[in-house]
Amino acid sequence: MEVIICPDADEVGRVAAAKVARVCADEERPVLGLATGSSPLAIYAHLAAKVEAGELDLSAVDAFALDEYVGLDRNHPESYASVIARTVTEPLRMDPARVHVPDGAAEDIEAAAEAYERAISEAGGVSVQILGIGTNGHIGFNEPTSSFSSRTRIKTLAERTRLDNQRFFSSLEEVPTHCLTQGLGTIMDARHVLLVAQGAAKADAVAATVEGPVSAVCPASILQHHRRATVVLDEAAASGLR
């Protein structure tokens, strides 16, 4: 696991965006793995600047988001379909038909989960998976005790996660209780994984991920077993490391 500590959150985004651009340049048909939430926003801003400058063209690249809420209308501004369209597809000038988000509104959630796994495989698998980390160590919405071999499936959100994500909604009641998320096994299939974390609130989860035992209590610790895992942190997020 390569750990890079940056002076501030913007530099985290710059370093991580450079890594994403490098992987895209190296592969003939790159496939991007997208995360939502606050952590990857600086990456997307730096990638958008590269697109704007004509240094990067993502218009023919396939992309797959990690997760989606269940029980939230797709057009709700905080559905991950809306968030990805707003923060990734439009600024990075990607083809909306190539940017996929799990269908949390599907009537048959199990079939939607299987179809998502199939679509990732048919696209050739994810070249580089961008990840944030929850304060409880989740990646995607694989909450503590998730199986290391899990695939895309419905999960109950931990109370901690609902409280952390309350900031995107007007009340805790509005935060969905369930999600459709890629599994830890799905994430581990990506050819590169790139986790970013900023701020002191992530320090304990980062320390458990990088230096703790590999344990389902901290789902992100499975990344210790990935052959090409890069963790990019600001100093506050790195403050729990020995």
Rg (alpha carbons) of the chain, rounded to whole number: 16
- CA of 101: how far to CAs of 44, 60, 67, 200, in Å? 17, 17, 7, 30
Min separation Cβ 186 and ligand F6R, Å = 12
Pick between residue 16 and residue 35 the one whose CB is nearest to ligand F6R. Answer: 35
Pick between residue 38 and residue 156 the one whose CB is nearest to ligand F6R. Answer: 38
Pick between residue 55 and residue 181 the one whose CB is nearest to ligand F6R. Answer: 181
Pick between residue 30 and residue 134 the one whose CB is nearest to ligand F6R. Answer: 134
Min separation Cβ 28 and ligand F6R, Å = 27
Q: How far apart are CA 197 and CA 37, in angstroms?
A: 11
Helix (H), strand (E), coil (C) string for 68-81: EEECCCCCCCCCHH
Min separation Cβ 137 and ligand F6R, Å = 10
Q: Where are the alpha helices (DSSP H) in 27-175?
A: 41-52, 80-84, 109-122, 159-165
Report strand pairing: 62-65 vs 67-70. unpaired
Active site residues: 67, 136, 138, 143
Q: Shortest CA distance to 3 belongs to which of 171, 230, 169, 239?
A: 230
Q: How far apart are CA 201 and CA 78, in angstroms?
A: 22
For residue 241, the number of C-alpha atoms closer than 13 Å in the C-beta half-sphere is 17
Q: How far apart are CA 83 and CA 175, in angstroms?
A: 15
Min separation Cβ 196 and ligand F6R, Å = 8
- Residues engaged in binding ligand F6R (CB under 6 A): 35-39, 66-67, 132-134, 138-141
Pick between residue 56 and residue 66 the one whose CB is nearest to ligand F6R. Answer: 66
Min separation Cβ 179 and ligand F6R, Å = 9
